[in-house]
Structure 1
Amino acid sequence: MIRVKVARNGRELDDVFHLRWHVYAQEEGLFGGSGSVPYISDRFDAHPVCYNLIAYDGAEPVATLRLNGDTGAGLPADRYFDFSAYRRSLVEEASRPGGRPPSLGCASMLAVRRRWRHRRDIIATLFKMAAGLGLAHGTTHVIVAVAERTQAMYRRMGFAPVGERTWIEEIGDHVVPLAAPFDAFARWAFDRRLLQPHSMALLEGETERILLSAGETLFREGERGEECYMVESGLLRATRRASQDGRELLLATFAPGDIVGELALIDDEPRSATVTAASNSEVLVLGREEFRRRLGGPHGDPDTLLRIFAERMRRMDDLALLLAYGGAHQKLLYALRSLYRAATPERRRPEVRSVTASAEDIAQMAGVDPAVAQAALEWLQQTGACEVRGRRVRFLREPAAAMEEAQTPFTPRPAGASRPEGDGKVPLALAASRPRR
């Protein structure tokens, strides 16, 4: 489990400054190498509008990013490039009808330990937190001066070059100046499904985030609850152990925009269920006091909470009926609908969605044999409803709708069975079990 937060106390700030030194000096040989002082800090860390973000894997600090707002004393990127022409263009743009006075922000000091650099979700979450802080401060534009080898990543976030690369002797590397309108950066950062008033209140500011890999536990039944969570991406499962035989009972699933874990904050009772990630997931964290404050605030009134509870009860009623009376086909439809709802939409084609989940994950969600889920994924691929690469599923259309339209009862292909003769589009057992029309 990875937790990303704003560093506030002395230990967390020490972790930030030491992590910079470890990555830049020890791992990369920049800033003159290791040196004698195992910390990297500068005057911008003392500025009044400064946020140092830090990601922990358990107790180990693994990544950090700094955000500064413009206080009139310059920004970190100004040390390496003259942004005055860019600033003048923003002032000129603001003078036109409908223009908005510019308010600049700057991201700097991104440092990720080598062992975690393959975790792109950690880097993305740091920048999403940066976008939330930018929203809270009314930022209009963001500037950065970054190592040339990393500029492609920033371009994907909406940044564009505003000057030529420059060799910085102090760093020992080439640096490129980039800038982005904050609106473009925010479009990259935030899932459009979350841009609702009650969700936006959580996205703004210093809200912590947790990253969960598929199968990781967010909290367990019986634990005391001090936080609740809003799902930003992925899919969570709430389960409980049956007292009679110890079997795991599926109570609910939670997709982006759903709140989970709030009951323990309302009634002060232990957690009533165990919540785990059915796929790689990210959640926003709301502590007990913050939850109670927002409940009485403009974006967290009781009507919003009642709406959340009503939606939850409807889904639990549907799930209870399904588990009691539904067959494997109906359970699979429910799991695929939930997975599609949790999948991340593509920006240009929002109906196309991707999620990290295997046939075993889908089978566990549906309570069916893994062979049934595998047969369903094969059929969806062969009919053009999805693409599967390893554990990555890309839905080209809503999968449950595709199955319902075909009226195909999914049953596993017998072990070792070959594919049917003919066009080869449907697994043998599916072809054999398809109803006559």
Structure 2
Amino acid sequence: MPIKLKVARTAEELDDVFRLRYDVYVSERNKFSEKRATNDGRIVDHFDVLPEVANVVAYDGDTAIASFRVNRDSSVGLAPEKYFDFSGERAKIAKLDEEGCALIVSCSMLAIRKQWRHQRNVIFALFKKVTAVMRGWGATHVFGAASAETFSLYGRLGVEAIAKDCWIESVGDRLVPVVGRFEKVFAWAFGAEDPLTKNFWLDNSCVEFETLLLSPGEVIFHENDEAEYAYSIEKGGVSISRQGPGQKDLVIAQLCKGTLFGELAMFDDERRTATATATMNTQIIAIKRKQMLDIVHQDSDKMDQLLCHFSQRLRQADHVALVQQFAPQTSRVSYALEQLWRSAKAQEEYPATRTLKIGAEQIAKRAQVRESEVRRILEVRRASGGLDYGDDTVRFFRAPSSDDFVSANGAQ
């Protein structure tokens, strides 16, 4: 079951958030002692009912596993100001704000169930979604009150402590007041990405879209399912397959980062014609049918983006068909490696090096060849210095090309 992240909007989703806080802070961590006495199974305060508040929540199936609250500045202040005096920081911001454009926001009530507390992909996706909310509001500065236990996590976001940690009796924890410029927080979450320059379905800063985290082998949708969402791959890979003769799954496409899929059913109202399965740890953006239709109907530029996508997809489909029908096994593997390289994650210290969690068996399924052939080609490319690999990892040192294979074969 994929992990789903979204902004809580319904009464049921908000109740899930409030109950999650109680489970994490009171039941698991023995914090908020006065809330334990009420025994109502929820933690709620007046910052939850202000107009400009958003709670990002992550679900594993029907269970809320993590949440994080963000508030926009208001006349009653921000949540961290319940515990610390930020007036000095407000004065500094006001002094530099000549155009009156500063907007302070706060993050609070970070709650993650114990079982998921060390899953970095969940934590990062949660922070990224909260950052997207702040970006949508036009935030310039961020206030917070971090637990001393988790302060190092906040430090990576580009925020700084403005005083030493102190014991807050009502919370039952040592808290640290933190402040940061939003541009630093955004850079940590999104890096060099600029969502405004991308196709709209890749706008991972859009708070209206949901985010799904999938493990290898998890199914996104099955053949003949009703279609409710279109999807785009933020990172990882997805296999598209159909059931052939003898109930055998036939892989018809291997999708990588940046690909939009499942979108045709948004327009023709038909059931799914294939099954979509994650081939590795994958993060995708989920766009509801109504959102997709509203976007293209209201913005002609985005309609043009979609039409361009359709034309490119038709050309690619022709190329894939030629490779699978007429190319030898070596060419199929080479094509699969090129696609994998495009979706692989570049290493910060060595940008030319890209690493991917995938094994020879999965690559063989992508290329529709024998695993032994994949291992043979990987060995050849390792010998040429193009890559290295292990049981479940491939590390590219440069973009794959046919020259790697030819030169290495010629040297043997």
- Which residues of 2 match residues 37-76 of structure 1 at below 5 A? 37-76=40-79
Which stretch shifts more, 115-124 or 11-20? 115-124
Which stretch shifts more, 173-182 or 111-120? 173-182
1:215 alignment partner in structure 2: 217
1:233 alignment partner in structure 2: 235
Q: Deviations over 1:7-50 (max 9, x none)?
A: 12222111111111111111111112843221111111011111
Q: Deviations over 1:393-436 (max 9, x none)?
A: 443322x23x6334268xxxxxxxxxxxxxxxxxxxxxxxx335
The alpha-carbon deviation at position 159 of structure 1 amounts to 2.4
2:321 is the counterpart of 1:320: yes
User: Conserved in 2, the CA contact under 8 Å of 1:132 and 1:206?
Assistant: no
User: Conserved in 2, the CA contact under 8 Å of 1:224 and 1:271?
Assistant: yes
Distance in structure 2 (CA, Å) of the matches to 1:112 and 1:20:
8
User: Conserved in 2, the CA contact under 8 Å of 1:340 and 1:353?
Assistant: yes
User: Conserved in 2, the CA contact under 8 Å of 1:239 and 1:252?
Assistant: yes
The alpha-carbon deviation at position 113 of structure 1 amounts to 1.0
2:94 is the counterpart of 1:94: no
Distance in structure 1 (CA, Å) of the matches to 2:6 and 2:278:
20
1:284 alignment partner in structure 2: 285
User: Conserved in 1, the CA contact under 8 Å of 2:210 and 2:285?
Assistant: yes
Distance in structure 1 (CA, Å) of the matches to 2:389 and 2:144:
37
The alpha-carbon deviation at position 240 of structure 1 amounts to 1.5
The alpha-carbon deviation at position 368 of structure 1 amounts to 2.4
User: Conserved in 2, the CA contact under 8 Å of 1:214 and 1:279?
Assistant: yes
Structure 1 unaligned segments of length 5 or more: list them: 410-433
The alpha-carbon deviation at position 300 of structure 1 amounts to 5.5
Distance in structure 2 (CA, Å) of the matches to 1:406 and 1:234:
25
1:431 alignment partner in structure 2: none
- Which residues of 2 match residues 345-384 of structure 1 at below 5 A? 345-347=346-348, 349-377=350-378
Q: Deviations over 1:119-157 (max 9, x none)?
A: 221111111111221221111122221112212222223
User: Conserved in 1, the CA contact under 8 Å of 2:7 and 2:207?
Assistant: no
1:269 alignment partner in structure 2: 270
1:113 alignment partner in structure 2: 113
User: Conserved in 2, the CA contact under 8 Å of 1:252 and 1:315?
Assistant: no
User: Conserved in 1, the CA contact under 8 Å of 2:380 and 2:405?
Assistant: no
- Which residues of 2 match residues 31-430 of structure 1 at below 5 A? 31-32=32-33, 34-35=36-37, 36-95=39-98, 101-190=101-190, 192=192, 195=195, 196-199=197-200, 201=203, 203-242=205-244, 244-298=245-299, 301-347=302-348, 349-377=350-378, 385-386=386-387, 391-398=392-399, 400-401=400-401, 404-407=403-406
SS in 1 for 2:311: helix
User: Conserved in 2, the CA contact under 8 Å of 1:103 and 1:141?
Assistant: yes
User: Conserved in 2, the CA contact under 8 Å of 1:127 and 1:189?
Assistant: yes
SS in 2 for 1:269: coil
- Closer, same or farther: CA 405–312 of 1 in aligned 2, 3 Å: same
Distance in structure 1 (CA, Å) of the matches to 2:133 and 2:72:
10
User: Conserved in 1, the CA contact under 8 Å of 2:230 and 2:288?
Assistant: yes
Distance in structure 1 (CA, Å) of the matches to 2:351 and 2:321:
30
Distance in structure 1 (CA, Å) of the matches to 2:86 and 2:394:
43
Distance in structure 2 (CA, Å) of the matches to 1:248 and 1:134:
43
User: Conserved in 2, the CA contact under 8 Å of 1:239 and 1:248?
Assistant: yes
Distance in structure 2 (CA, Å) of the matches to 1:387 and 1:323:
26
The alpha-carbon deviation at position 234 of structure 1 amounts to 1.1
User: Conserved in 2, the CA contact under 8 Å of 1:194 and 1:256?
Assistant: no
Amino acid at match of 1:407: V
Question: Structure 2 length normalisation: TM-score?
Answer: 0.90
Distance in structure 2 (CA, Å) of the matches to 1:149 and 1:383:
47
Amino acid at match of 2:103: S
- Closer, same or farther: CA 348–306 of 1 in aligned 2, 3 Å: farther
The alpha-carbon deviation at position 299 of structure 1 amounts to 7.2
Alignment RMSD (CA, Å)? 2.5
The alpha-carbon deviation at position 83 of structure 1 amounts to 2.0
- Closer, same or farther: CA 79–263 of 1 in aligned 2, 3 Å: same
Distance in structure 2 (CA, Å) of the matches to 1:126 and 1:154:
13
- Closer, same or farther: CA 42–390 of 1 in aligned 2, 3 Å: farther
SS in 1 for 2:199: helix
Distance in structure 2 (CA, Å) of the matches to 1:237 and 1:102:
45
SS in 2 for 1:11: helix
- Closer, same or farther: CA 75–348 of 1 in aligned 2, 3 Å: farther
The alpha-carbon deviation at position 202 of structure 1 amounts to 5.5
Amino acid at match of 1:241: Q
Structure 2 unaligned segments of length 5 or more: list them: none
Alignment: residue pair count: 407
Q: Deviations over 1:143-194 (max 9, x none)?
A: 2211122122222233232332222222222212223322222222226466
User: Conserved in 1, the CA contact under 8 Å of 2:359 and 2:390?
Assistant: no
- Closer, same or farther: CA 268–71 of 1 in aligned 2, 3 Å: same
Distance in structure 2 (CA, Å) of the matches to 1:378 and 1:194:
38
User: Conserved in 2, the CA contact under 8 Å of 1:198 and 1:300?
Assistant: no
